[in-house]
Amino acid sequence: MYLHPEVETMSRKDIEKLQLQRLKATINRCMRSPFYKERFQQYGIKPEDIQSLEDLQRIPFTTKQDLRDHYPFGLSAVPLEEVVRLHSSSGTTGTPTVILHTQHDLEEWANAVARCLYMVGLRKGDIFQNSSGYGMFTGGLGFQYGAERLGMLTVPAAAGNTKRQIKFITDFGTTALHAIPSYAGRLYEVMQEMHIDPRRDTHLKTLIIGAEPHSDEQRRRIENMLGVKAYNSFGMSEMCGPGVAFECLEQNGLHIWEDYYIVEIVDPVTLEPVPEGEVGELVLTTINREAMPLLRYRTRDLTRILPGDCPCGRHHKRLDRMKGRSDDMMILKGVNIFPIQIENILLQFKELGNEYLITLTNLDANDEMTVEVELNDFTDDYAFLQNLTKEITRQLKDEILITPRVKLVPKGTLPVHEGKAVRVKDLRKTLI
């Protein structure tokens, strides 16, 4: 069951003992970083002030803006000649965020991803196909090296070219696939067009999904469509990439590897810790990284720590699936709304497909929301469509507290994206 049993089965007491040991070493390392050296002096903090895990809260947060303000190497804690690779954020505007890695960092990253893949049953002999982008995006190389570390035959298919992806799956006997949730749905649609039954015509058994918020209902749909078990994963480039947290075979939360990270959940407004089990913003501290350690990094991702123990025997804390990002929140008529709330309602209707688009407009100073969603099958039964629209609208109003305009559109109407799905178009104009 365990690739690294001595770490994966540690007791809570031993996990916290290891964390404190690594935290102290990390803070000493941070004193070689121009950014953290100045930050500690600014706040009057000395490394010896941190004598417990609770003392970590004395250290100010690190943000994405800090990385941008000190672009490209201002947070480096090692000489540049010790750095063997850098990755940067996938953002297309503004200054990117850059993360540096030593050879040690890459080795530990590969170990973490390998541990995740092993945890969901993948072994040497499996054929692992990766539909993530390679290059600066960490999802490609992160899963690549983790899969190779386990000795799997890897297929670095990269993103896009769906028919080629399917040809590789069928021709190479792919047993495990990594894809974002919306793209997994797209693969199934193209398989149907090509008259390929994934249960009959492929060897797929395991799907790794992540990189965009998705509901448990969407996961179940994907599993039913492709005939696989789909496991949720979490990673971000600032924390190396994939391998930060992963579901086990129980599929009841993402185990976050606490030998690599210290996890906090804080209120995104007050920045105070929230009680265990409550939703807040995920804050992470790296404790096993050389080139560019990060202290109390605000991820902007919203989740919660799940209470209780997991039957798998691992005592590393479990995160709930990501609810969205604090900066993805829509404010409409004074109500805070997340796209995942709307998806949770839409996917409960078997008549609806996977594709939807939320459009925000303001007409005569009045904010309006339109939800377009594709039907699974064409019908011109007006009474049926009218009743379905009314029921969807009613359930959405109960969930988000405002009444959206719901439009049911034929399958294939909404644009398809090879990368992360675009779910929201905000066309509102600022009124002066």
Average pLDDT over residues 360-381: 87
Average pLDDT over residues 188-210: 96
Average pLDDT over residues 415-422: 75
Average pLDDT over residues 25-29: 98
CA atoms within 13 A on the CB side of 38: 9
Q: Is residue 284 a contact partner of residue 294, using CB atoms and an 8 Å limit?
A: yes
Amino acid symbol at 394? R
Q: Cα–Cα distance between 248 and 420 in angstroms, integer?
A: 24
Q: Is residue 297 a contact partner of residue 239, using CB atoms and an 8 Å limit?
A: yes
Which two structure tokens, joined as six digits, stand for 297?
Answer: 């990094």
Amino acid symbol at 239? M
Q: Provide the β-strand partners of residue 276.
A: none
Higher pLDDT residue, 253 or 96?
Answer: 253
Q: Cα–Cα distance between 214 and 182 in angstroms, integer?
A: 9
Percent of the chain with pLDDT over 90: 77
pLDDT (tens digit per residue) in 41-70: 999 999 999 999 999 999 999 999 999 999
Q: Cα–Cα distance between 125 and 11 in angstroms, integer?
A: 32
pLDDT of the residue at 330 = 83
Higher pLDDT residue, 286 or 182?
Answer: 286
Residue 92 — very low, low, confident or very high, per pLDDT cuts 50/70/90? very low
Residue 337 — very low, low, confident or very high, per pLDDT cuts 50/70/90? confident
